[in-house]
Amino acid sequence: MKYALVTGGSRGIGRAICCKLSSMGYYILINYQSNENEAMATLEKVRQLGSDGELLKFNVADSAEVKQVLDQWNAGHSGEYIEVLVNNAGIRKDNLMIWMPEGDWHNVVNTGLDGFFFVTQSLLKNMLIRKYGRIINIVSLSGIKGMPGQVNYSAAKGGIIAATKALSQEVARKNVTVNAVAPGFISTDMTHDLNESELKKVVPMGRFGKAEEVADLVGFLASEQAAYITGEVISINGGL
């Protein structure tokens, strides 16, 4: 049995990634924080694709919660380990910095950056012992070029990009790869409040991307065919 954990796997890009990895033969651990109905809907799609999985409820930004749930999972799966981790969990609280509440800064940065640290650190030891692992971090165009109104989100994603490059060098000798995928405008629940008809005019391809297109890229990076790719940030943004 091959195991993959997708944080924030209940909807949008996370759901598409769960489905893609399940089609590659992985048993999917679907992390969610609050919306159990959507997480169950993802699990049903995974099962319809001929695979299986389970739900893991925890807040990625809560170190004690992450440790408790993942330690419990490890204790119940002696001799097995999670070989693919997709750090997808993230939230947006957009505002100009001058008006940004302190709580919105901390919530966005803690979910993105702290969540990456807590979950990755919990799974990394077993990957190094087994000398095989795939860590794929979902970042954003915002973390590469910055976006007005997203100082918090850009900071979180930019931090993960830097951490991706550093961690990849620490673990490469153990056959563990660490890469980041940076989507541009993708049609999901997270972007439903954006003016798609206007924003797609600045995209050379003239459209928003699909969650499934991001998932296909993640699936490749999770595969053995991507064994010599590490420390990279791959953009998927229609030419922006």
What CA–CA distances, in Å, run from 31 to 36, 69, 89, 220?
Answer: 10, 10, 9, 21
Q: What is the amino acid identity at position 35? A: N
Q: Which of 26, 30, 25 is nearest to 41 (CA)?
A: 30
Task: Show Cβ contacts of residue 13 under 8 Å, excluding neighbours closer than 6 positions.
Answer: 88, 138, 183, 186, 188, 211, 214, 215
Beta pairing, strands 176-183 & 82-87 = unpaired
**Catalytic residue chosen out of the listed positions 3, 26, 32, 153:** 153
Active site residue 153: yes
- Write down the H helix ranges in 76-200: 102-109, 115-130, 141-145, 151-171, 196-199
> Which residues are tagged catalytic?
153
